[in-house]
Structure 1
Amino acid sequence: MIVATLGPEGNNHVLVLRRYLAARGLADAQVKLFDDFPTAFAALVAGEVDRVLQCTAHFSHADCVGRHMHRAFPVDVFVAGSHPLALLARRDVAAPRQVARQPATRYYTDLSGFSEEVDAATTVAVAEGLLAGRFEAGICARQALEDHPEKLCLLEDLGPALDVWVLYGTEPLVDSNPLVL
């Protein structure tokens, strides 16, 4: 079985997918990472992958569901927490005015104190941008602070996001499945 989700390695989609596979006894499944969900869903309907895992909070969720109606079907759903998140800033910026965030995280805390908000593709990209000096502050995994305390400081601990996750396949569930109402 090949199960796809959004990359890169280390993001919440990969974290939750690996947890899911372990919990369902599918640890031998092959994981395939995609740069975006439209490409992952296209691979699903083309038969190149067997399943796609997507968080319903992801900004492309509604588009993917709509574009693949009657070709990609929810086959499992569950609730899972993300990596613990934090609003971090670079230590070399005394008063950060710019904040980066993945669009799904934009309301996780009050960002009104920043004069500029920058979209990033993933929370991993936010952490990389902070460390590379492209961003002054950002919402990303708290692990970035633990890995680089000399470069980053904590502005606010946000904890894990608790989200609904959907696994898609190409065959709909039968009416007798307990997930079907």
Structure 2
Amino acid sequence: MTTPLRFGTLGTEGSNHSMIVRKYIAFRKLEDAEIVLYTDFREAFEALVAGDLDFILQVSVHPSHTEMSARYVHRVHVVDTFIAPSKSLAIISRTDVEQPRSIAFQPATKHYADLSAWPRQIDEVSIMTVAEGLQAGRFDSGITSVELVEQAPDRFRIDQLFGPITDVWVLFGRKPLDIRSLSAWPDAPVCRYFHE
């Protein structure tokens, strides 16, 4: 009996990372794969190096992506990349706050809009912890999934809709691939633009 492959990524459950890793595993038909969620990518990369994980999935716009890629360059290797859309995102505010003063965001989403109207800006682990903080009343606004408004339209409103954001996702593993030239998707959707 073989051991299931273990994929690590950023959590909590319901985050874009956890959603995309599940879609990737389904796309690759790895039904028995296990998912381990981390609140910090450094901890995940250390687990990969130690052999506790087989792969890590990270969105390329995550603030730690460059650091992790460089810090672990000789021990961790890019083994796959793909593009995928996130959940539909928005700046969401509590309806009981007329003039929001605080906003929370996962750092990768910070530059989606001009946030200068919010004097207090808070980094959070994921879009899900942003939603949890809004529900608990810890801040007035947040960049998170529109699911929050769909679940409680009387408590939350959309101030600025971004929709799904399409990003590049990178899969890391411990074994390097034998790639000696460009490796790209031969029939990528962009190809239709090249011949128009």
d(CA) in 1 for partners of 2:59, 2:138 = 27
| RMSD (Å) for aligned C-alpha atoms | 1.4
Q: 1:109-155 CA deviation, whole Å, 9 max, x = no partner?
A: 12222222221121111111111010101100110111111211111
2:15–2:128 contact (8 Å) kept in structure 1: yes
Q: 2:168 aligns with which of 156, 164, 177?
A: 164
Pair 1:174 & 2:170 matched: no
Q: 1:143-168 CA deviation, whole Å, 9 max, x = no partner?
A: 01111112111111110111111000
d(CA) in 1 for partners of 2:39, 2:87 = 19
Partner in structure 1 of residue 137 of structure 2? 133
Pair 1:150 & 2:157 matched: no
Partner in structure 1 of residue 69 of structure 2? 65
Partner in structure 2 of residue 45 of structure 1? 49
How does the TM-score come out when normalised to structure 2?
Answer: 0.88
Pair 1:97 & 2:101 matched: yes
Gaps of 5+ in 2: 185-196
d(CA) in 1 for partners of 2:99, 2:58 = 36
Q: 1:32-51 CA deviation, whole Å, 9 max, x = no partner?
A: 11121111111111111110
Deviation at 1:175, TM superposition (A): 2.3
Partner in structure 1 of residue 120 of structure 2? 116
What code does the residue aligned with 1:59 have?
P
Residue aligned with 1:82, SS: strand
Gaps of 5+ in 1: none
What code does the residue aligned with 1:118 have?
I
Q: 2:88 aligns with which of 84, 89, 107?
A: 84
What code does the residue aligned with 1:35 have?
T
d(CA) in 2 for partners of 1:20, 1:168 = 13
What code does the residue aligned with 1:168 have?
F
d(CA) in 2 for partners of 1:34, 1:93 = 32
Residue aligned with 1:88, SS: strand
d(CA) in 2 for partners of 1:161, 1:155 = 17
Residue aligned with 1:83, SS: strand
Question: Which range is displaced more, 74-83 or 23-32?
Answer: 23-32
Larger radius of gyration: 2
Q: 1:63-87 CA deviation, whole Å, 9 max, x = no partner?
A: 1111111100000000111111011
Q: 1:12 aligns with which of 16, 40, 61?
A: 16
How does the TM-score come out when normalised to structure 1?
Answer: 0.95
